[in-house]
Structure 1
């Protein structure tokens, strides 16, 4: 999908369209075309070419390589060291099919990896474990977030991760821990690596939620002090983006719980203990998202109340002004009538008084001041901005 204002030949990603408002940021899961053959791959038209990186490590050393083809990683899969193959980008069906052959992936596994977005889930095959997760990272401006699917295929001594795009991820800290041998990651197997990546994905939600927490605080002040149409748009956008976060993290809770409960042979008991901590973080993220969604909904109510109160204050001011001028208009209307004084002595005799005009002014001023004093005593002028 390309906007009308774009120049031909420019690469346009789905993220660009989301950022510019040409498509909806709300995540919709992938669904198969009715009657299509199982295992059919549907490459997104804006997908970027895959970049294949390999990190092979054990307790003594760690090697990081950039691979040109999927076949180059085959010798590392049979070694006792842990091999992490990270594929970024889904833009080549040929590379992905060859990747499936190297890792002996089931056609349905490859379908879930390529046909994005899928609902976060975990599925166990003969000697592999498929984990689908949603990853979010803050935008450059810090006002929103990028989201993409991350697929993890766990084997006995290897972990294959496939990301939608090569530009963003939250795995930098894990790569640094492997490179510097910090912690116990190089002493553990591929299952601990899978846990570390899942933990990084879950922890990546916290900076996003911190941004939205600050936005909610600003909106709370805005809806009370100066509610505008732009404020309403910000609240609406906030609610929709929080819904996207909820749809991303809610099934993640069930996914991690399934890893803990189901007891796959590929995940050791020690790693399940760490997954419990990851599950706690997921529940915490979900609680924060739910809390912020409730606050965003209450902000909408506060906005409507503030607008109504502002309208009521305006109507109060107009009512006070109109009430003061009603008797004055009545007096002016009476003396604006054209009665002939020569026809009858009762036709407005005060028009012949020497002080008639000043007395009329004094009468109107006294009436206006009396009404103002009465309204003030009743409290009508309180809280009138």
Structure 2
């Protein structure tokens, strides 16, 4: 990233409990009013666009509905529904219970062994003596698999519960014999921001990753490096593999950020050239997606810092040096995201300014027209009065005189407006 970007630090937010009741009430009313105005705008925009669509100059209603409703933000994921009063550590499958897809990659200095679509029993058997065993689980619908892995590697039940309850804030938790890491991966899929929670456990000689979906991840380069024996991954332990996976997640943010930058540039051009209702909805949608990206990137700094300062033997001193590079990448990604958010706000202001400028142009034309008709109306009203003695009414050229006076007044005012630059 060639340009230097800086993070806008915010003042600490005041807790809602410390606000006065009147302040909280005003804030709630303002937020509800803003939401209502936005919904009303989208409804009116949809009605206007639908009326044009009936004449064949716009897309169909279904497409317009999707495009306008997308401005309300990205779709939120649904995790496991935990009933109030459920004992802590209870594992509840997210969505419909489905078998998990398990793959194993065991390696040491001599070589690597990879197996895909195996059972949990087979995964527990496949180990690399003196090396590292990486078990990857795709899908959150099989609680039995997580239970077996937890029993075999001593995973804490609260950590396993956080694996199934997606939407966790990225964090690092240290236990007696392993570390638990939560990350969020981001990618663009069909124009939407696809967010996925990746949970990572690692201890001495083993590492487990649990992903929400089996439709691909950002760890392909790490797998290929293990297969080909590139770098020092086969000579290092599970902590170095964890570093590579965290670095892959952070690096995967940059293509998404780059696409956001290109979209903002296109929206900025559209906001100036063609500030339609669709542009405003897309800007609002962009702001929601950038907020989602920020929630994923912001905690990564703290996460890497915790791993750097961890004093246990699970993270070696050499791996901590590599984590500094991940920290720099996380800070860089966060700075770019903050800059994009500010740019999105600026584009929104540009859009509103262009709309106000167009409205001012229309109002100027209407004002000039109304001003021109003021003397014409005055002349017509004077000669329309029903007085008995009005010399012009009996004059042969009275009608032509009145019309000529009106035209002269209108032309004189037009010339004056033109000379002053008002027309």
1:365 paired to 2:407: yes
* Range that drifts further, 22-31 or 153-162: 22-31
Task: Using the TM superposition, give the Cα deviation of residue 37 of structure 1 relative to its aligned residue in structure 2, in angstroms.
Answer: 1.1
- Three-state SS of the structure 2 residue aligned to 1:150 is strand
Q: Which of residues 284, 291, 313 in structure 2 aligns to 1:265?
A: 313
Please tell me whether the aligned partners of residues 82 and 92 of structure 2 are also in contact (alpha carbons under 8 angstroms). Answer: no
Q: Does 299-308 or 164-173 show the bigger shift?
A: 299-308
Q: Where does residue 380 of structure 2 map in the other structure?
A: 332
The partner residue of 2:240 within 181, 186, 192 is 192
Distance 1:258 1:61 in 2: 32
Aligned to 2:421: 379
Alpha-carbon distance, 1:350 to partner: 2.8
If you compute each CA radius of gyration, which structure gives the higher value, 1 or 2? 1
Paired residue for 2:140, among 84, 87, 90? 90
Instruction: Determine the structure 2 residue equivalent to 1:156.
Output: 204
1:102-151 CA-to-partner distances (Å, cap 9, x unmatched) read 32322122112222222111111122111111111221x3x222111101
**Structure 2 stretches of 5 or more lacking a match?**
1-68
In structure 2, what is the Cα distance between the partners aligned to 1:20 and 1:370?
53
- Match among 92, 97, 111 for residue 61 of structure 1: 111
Query: Given the alignment of the two structures, is residue 178 of structure 1 paired with residue 220 of structure 2, yes or no?
Result: no
- TM-score normalised by L of structure 2: 0.77
Please report the RMSD computed on the Cα atoms of aligned residues, expressed in angstroms: 2.5
- Distance, in Å, in 2 between the alignment partners of 1:97 and 1:171 is 24
2:115 is aligned with 1:73: no
Further displaced range: 175-184 or 36-45: 175-184
How far the C-alpha of 1:187 sits from its partner, in A, is 2.8
Q: SS of 2:167's equivalent?
A: coil
Alpha-carbon distance, 1:35 to partner: 3.1
Per-residue deviation, residues 226-282 of structure 1 (Å, max 9, x unmatched): 322222211211111111111111112111110001233111111111111001111
1:119 aligned to 2:183? no
Unmatched 5+ residue regions in structure 1? 1-18
Q: CA deviation at 1:375?
A: 1.3
* SS of 2:90 mapped into structure 1: coil
Deviations 1:133-186 (A, max 9, x none): 1111221x3x22211110111111111100011113111121122222233322
For 1:277 and 1:48, locate their aligned partners in 2 and report how far apart those are by CA, in whole Å.
Answer: 38
CA positional deviation for 1:32: 5.9
**1:25-80 deviation line (CA, Å, top 9, x unaligned):** 35799896543212111211246531000111223322210143212122334621
User: Which residue does the alignment assign to 1:5?
Assistant: none
Q: Give the match for residue 146 of structure 1.
A: 194
Q: Is the 8 A contact 2:71 2:284 kept in 1?
A: no
**Quick check: 2:73–2:284 contact (8 Å CA) kept in 1?**
no
CA distance in 2, matches of 1:310, 1:129: 59
Paired positions, count: 355
Shift of residue 213, structure 1, vs aligned partner: 0.9
| Larger deviation, residues 197-206 vs 351-360 | 351-360
SS at match of 2:173: strand
How far has the Cα of 1:317 moved from its partner?
0.9
1:283 aligns to 2:331 (yes or no): yes
8 Å contact kept, 1:55–1:62: yes
Instruction: Find the partner of 1:234 among 282, 285, 302.
Output: 282
Structure-2 change in CA distance of 1:185 and 1:287 (3 Å): same
> Residue 26 of structure 1 contacts residue 240 of structure 1 at CA under 8 Å; is this kept in 2?
no
2:291 alignment partner, SS class: helix
2:103 and 2:123 in contact (8 A); partners too: no
Give distance in 2, aligned partners of 1:205 and 1:114. Answer: 23
Asked whether the equivalents of residues 47 and 165 of structure 1 are also in contact (C-alpha less than 8 Å), the reply is no
Q: Is the 8 A contact 1:27 1:244 kept in 2?
A: no
Tell me if the contact between 2:73 and 2:288 (Cα under 8 Å) persists in the aligned partners.
no
